[in-house]
Structure formats: structure tokens, C-alpha cells
């Protein structure tokens, strides 16, 4: 139901004290009314695992929580409202860092975080044309040439509830996030415990407005350009750089 990964990076040399950056990686919560009762029963097991990691494995406290998509089940506003309640419970159970602050949240959307078009929209000419993304290069060219076109409107509408939730989420960094032209794209630069960190998050589910086959999703260099500028210069500014996306590489088109 909820995938969890723990990572810590320690940087040191013979002249300085070790520097540590630690994060908790969550994915695929799929919170919805359908799984609510199941989660009520299993939430305690999840927090038992969190406490075991903290007390026995000594891996915390964490500086960042990464959440790589599928936070909710169907992209509904009421699901994101309930997600806030669950995140509040989680943050209440996470230990503060040495400075007394709780970790920050950085996240990207998955295909379950969008609201799929209704049947009327699926019959429209613009939707049918957009579905030919991998067959007709003109579709992607129009999509990327401006922020204001019908194809962008489809994607913006699909992720509107995610975008609204993101703008009001109190667990994100209060400042420093650079937003992209597609909902969910961002970059973030910070320094934690003397380690300069750069994070780029990309919406890799913007083509997932309906069922897709493996290899039909896409990322584009313009997504990175919009949030980070020159990627080589962006990476050179940081000791560690992290890219966040949702689907597995098998889902992405080869180009």
C-alpha cells in the first residue's frame, strides 16, 4: 500500500567532522475512501516500523520526506483533504531535527493524483489529438511552445486538485521552491548540515490522462530547463543532486 525507503548520506574527510543528510522516501499511498478502513487498521503497523527505524536502526531524525507520487487514489479534492489529515498525524510522529524543526516535504505527482477527463471530454477533438502524442510530433511541439494552449489546459485541469493541495500544503518549505510550467514540476536548492542539496521534481504522469501502455509516458528537457536553467550549472552548485519522478523507467518512451 505505502512504499517506504530510508536513505542517509554522510560526507566527511580527515579535516572536518562528518556531515549527514538523511531522508525518508514514501510512495504510492493511494489514499481514497476505498482504502480508508484498511489504512485505519494498518496505520499502527506503519508507525511501529517508523519507531523501529528510529529506536533500533538509529536512522533518524530525517531532514526531508520525499513523496514520489500516487499520494491519493483518484485525484479528488476530498482525498487531498484527508491526505492532509494523514500527513499531520505522520508529522506529529516524526522526531524533530537537532534545530528543533520537523522535516520538510518534497513531492511529485503520479497518475493517481490527477482527475481523469470525463466521457464528454474524451470525445472531444482536442483530447483525441492529445492522445496521439507519440504518433504525431506536432502535438508535443504545440504543447511545449507556450504555457497557454488547449493541450496545456487538459493537463492543468487534470492536476488542478493536486496543484491546489500543493499550494496550501504546510509541510513544504516556506520558500525557495521554483515551480515549472506543468503542475508538479519544481526545483529546490538548500543547505542542510553543511551539505548543499539540489532537488528537481518532474511530473512524469502528465500523459497518463487515461490508460497507457509501457513506454508511452514521457519527460522533456524543457521541464528541467524551466525549473533549473542550465542543468550542468545547477548540479555544480550542489554537493548532492536528486531527481524525483513517479513511474518506473519502463513506462517512459525511449526518446
- Provide the pLDDT for residue 115: 96
- Provide the pLDDT for residue 120: 95
Please give, one letter per residue, the 3-state secondary structure of 70-104.
CCECCCCHHHHHHHHHHHHHHHHHCCCCCCCCCCE
Per-residue pLDDT of the chain (255 residues; tens, 9 = 90+): 566 555 555 544 444 556 889 999 999 999 999 999 899 899 999 999 999 988 888 888 999 999 999 999 999 999 999 999 999 999 999 999 888 999 999 999 999 999 999 999 999 999 999 999 999 999 999 999 999 999 999 999 999 999 999 999 999 999 999 999 999 999 999 999 999 999 999 999 999 999 888 788 999 999 999 999 999 999 999 999 999 999 777 777 655
- Provide the pLDDT for residue 16: 53
- Provide the pLDDT for residue 58: 81
C-beta contacts of 210-215 below 8 A and 24+ residues apart: 210/116, 210/117, 210/122, 210/131, 212/251, 214/250, 214/251, 215/250, 215/251, 215/252, 215/253, 215/254
Instruction: Report the DSSP pairing between strands 195-201 and 240-244.
Output: parallel
Instruction: Please report the domains of the chain, with CATH numbers, ordered by start residue.
Output: 3-251 (3.60.21)
What φ, ψ does residue 59 adopt, rounded to 5°? -100, -10
Give 178: exposed, middle or buried? Use CB within 10 Å, 0-12, 13-18, 19+: middle
pLDDT, tens digit (0-9, with 9 covering 90-100), for 117-127: 999 999 999 99
- Provide the pLDDT for residue 97: 87
Supply the pTM of this predicted model. 0.90
Nearest to 64 by CA among 99, 22, 4: 22
Amino acid at each position: 500500500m505505502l512504499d517506504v525507503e530510508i536513505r542517509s548520506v554522510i560526507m566527511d574527510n580527515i579535516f572536518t567532522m562528518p556531515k549527514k543528510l538523511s531522508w525518508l522516501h514514501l510512495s504510492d499511498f493511494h489514499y481514497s475512501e476505498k482504502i480508508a478502513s484498511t489504512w485505519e487498521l494498518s496505520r499502527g503497523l506503519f508507525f511501529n516500523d517508523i519507531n523501529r527505524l528510529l529506536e533500533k536502526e538509529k536512522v533518524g531524525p530525517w531532514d526531508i520526506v520525499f513523496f514520489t507520487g500516487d499520494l491519493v487514489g483518484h485525484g479528488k479534492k476530498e482525498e487531498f483533504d484527508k491526505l492532509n489529515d494523514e500527513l499531520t498525524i505522520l508529522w506529529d510522529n516524526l522526531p524533530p531535527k537537532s534545530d528543533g524543526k520537523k522535516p520538510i516535504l518534497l513531492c511529485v505527482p503520479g497518475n493517481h493524483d490527477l482527475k481523469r477527463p470525463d466521457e464528454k471530454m474524451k470525445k472531444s477533438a482536442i483530447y483525441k489529438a492529445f492522445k496521439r502524442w507519440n504518433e504525431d510530433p506536432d502535438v508535443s511541439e504545440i504543447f511545449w511552445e507556450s504555457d497557454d494552449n488547449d493541450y496545456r489546459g487538459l493537463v492543468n485541469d487534470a492536476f488542478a486538485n493536486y496543484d491546489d493541495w500543493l499550494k496550501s500544503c504546510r509541510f513544504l518549505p516556506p520558500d525557495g521552491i521554483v515551480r515549472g510550467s506543468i503542475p508538479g514540476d519544481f526545483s529546490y536548492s538548500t543547505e542542510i548540515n553543511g551539505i548543499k542539496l539540489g532537488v528537481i521534481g518532474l511530473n512524469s504522469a502528465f500523459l497518463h490522462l487515461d490508460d497507457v501502455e509501457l513506454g508511452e509516458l514521457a519527460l522533456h528537457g524543457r521541464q528541467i530547463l524551466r525549473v533549473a536553467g542550465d542543468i550542468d550549472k545547477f548540479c555544480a552548485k550542489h554537493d548532492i543532486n536528486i531527481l524525483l519522478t513517479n513511474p518506473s523507467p519502463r513506462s517512459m518512451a525511449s526518446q
